[in-house]
Amino acid sequence: MLWLLGAILLIIMAIYLAVPSYSFADIEPFKGDFIYNPYADINRINYIDFRSENIDNQGIKVYEYGYALTGTRYLCLGYEKQRKIDYPFFQNVHYKQFNIDKLNKITRIVAPAHPNKGFKHVDMTRLDHYRVIEALSDGDNSLYYWDIALSNGHRVNIIATGKNHVTACIGDNDVESVLNSLETGNSYAVTYNGSLIEVPELQHVTLKNDTIFVSVSAKAKEMRFIGQNAVVKQRVSGVSDAFYHFENDDTYIRTEIEFENGNILYLNPLVRHEYQYFFDLNKAKVMKGRTYLMWVVYILVVVAFIRRFIILRKHEDSGK
């Protein structure tokens, strides 16, 4: 029995010790003289719940990854195969980043799932290499986690799933177009009451110089323009069209559009960037030297543990 317990312990240790050490870029909000607008021409809108029972029938392969007692989960869209290994007892930011990187190799889109239940605020300031977050789902509102990521310079788009939540993907209804809309941010989340048919649609989001123009198909109770640290920068009531001028200290602006019956549209952010052509910076890198040193130390510890275990067994056997 002791040998069996020892073997299980070694397997668990080996799984944990295989994770590299990461360096994370200094926390820094979006900055620059250019503004990235994710919205292209808004023509066809497809409402999709990526947790619906018939999602596979739409050709989109989706599953939720994660077995940890911490509740850390990821929604995987367009996966080639499912990842089997996880870290069951505890996970710091290095384990979470490693899982994201491993999932990215076999999955088109990796989204932290209901982050309010499995992630810490500090995780969202540092984690990188994902472009979508499940900020709204059954029993979970993680909009603040979304804003934490955005406020720390991570371009992340929203999806919503489950009862009374869907994601509006703009473009054709084939798999590639749907996933591309999520990656680029040419999509938005919807909370609705009643029928989706009654939900007003987004008409356009355009950027002229430093001014955002937003239009919807019906008069809204309120449009909210939200920026750094989830601060509401401007409210406009009783309109179907509104605009907001990017101030010098605005790092990103996202828009929430609420209607009288409680329907709400959550638009993806427009973010500042430094160069004429927008690209995402790599803010999480493996520290190879530190990782190798850490592995050497761990191996020595494991060897010492095994040696000690063998000595104890010999003493027990000799005492019988």
pLDDT in tens, 190-213: 999 989 999 999 999 999 999 999
Is residue 307 in a domain? no
Q: How confident is the model at residue 290 (pLDDT cuts 50, 70, 90)?
A: confident
Is 115 within the bounds of a domain?
Answer: yes
Assess if residue 14 is contained within a domain.
Answer: no
What is the domain extent for residue 100?
Answer: 22-29+44-194+262-267+278-286
pLDDT per position as a tens digit, 106-165: 999 999 999 999 999 999 999 999 999 999 999 899 999 999 999 999 999 999 999 999
Mean pLDDT of the chain: 91
Q: How confident is the model over 69-89, as a mean pLDDT? A: 94
- For residue 291, the model assigns a pLDDT of 72
Q: How far apart are the first and last CA of the chain?
A: 17
Cβ atoms of residues 233 and 244 within 8 Å: yes
Would residue 316 count as lying in a domain?
no
Tell me phi and psi for residue 75, to 5 degrees. Answer: -90, 120
Residue 71 has pLDDT above 90, yes or no: yes
What's the Cα-to-Cα distance from 205 to each of 40, 179, 258, 259, rounded to whole Å? Answer: 8, 20, 16, 18
Query: Could you tell me if residue 299 is inside a domain?
Result: no
Strand, helix or coil at 130?
coil
Q: What tens digit of pLDDT does each residue of 1-43 get? A: 555 666 666 677 777 778 888 999 988 999 999 999 999 889 8
C-alpha to C-alpha distance for 310 and 320, rounded to whole angstroms: 16
Identity of the amino acid at 250: D
**253 domain residue, yes or no:** no
Give the domain CATH number at 146: 3.20.20
C-alpha 80: how far from chain center = 19
Domain count along the chain: 1
Residue 114 lies in a domain: yes
pTM score, whole prediction: 0.89
The helix/strand/coil state of 160 is: strand
In a domain, 117, yes or no: yes
Residue-level pLDDT at 316:
62
Angle separating helix axes 2-17 and 288-319, nearest 10 degrees = 170
